[in-house]
Amino acid sequence: MSTPPTSLPNVLVVEDEMILRMRAVDIVEDAGFCPVEAVNADEAISILESRSDISLLFSDIQMPGTMDGLKLAHAVHDRWPASRSYWSPVR
């Protein structure tokens, strides 16, 4: 008798550099999570607007575009205040 597959938590990985994003995705997968990729904060916000199954945001701090990783973390926290928000900048 097989057991039904368990749903893995989804982690949104936001990184503009392809090699670093690929490595971060590997780390997320190795940790037992399901990665969802975004190349910048604008794409991350778009993904978060369209999906309600993202459990964690893993973001680069220094990124080009309309906002960096810190502004992204603040924007997510402000826009979705009911969700638990634990973040620490990593440089």
The string of pLDDT tens digits covering residues 29-85 is 999 999 999 999 999 999 999 999 999 999 999 999 899 999 999 999 899 876 655
Q: Is residue 37 part of a domain?
A: yes
For residue 6, the model assigns a pLDDT of 59
State the residue range of the domain holding 44: 10-60
The domain that holds 29 is classified in CATH as 3.40.50.2300
> How many alpha carbons lie under 13 Å from residue 12 in its C-beta half-sphere?
26
- Tally of domains in the chain: 1
Q: Is residue 1 part of a domain?
A: no
**pTM exceeds 0.85:** no
Q: Is residue 71 part of a domain?
A: no
Q: Is residue 5 part of a domain?
A: no
Q: Is residue 74 part of a domain?
A: no
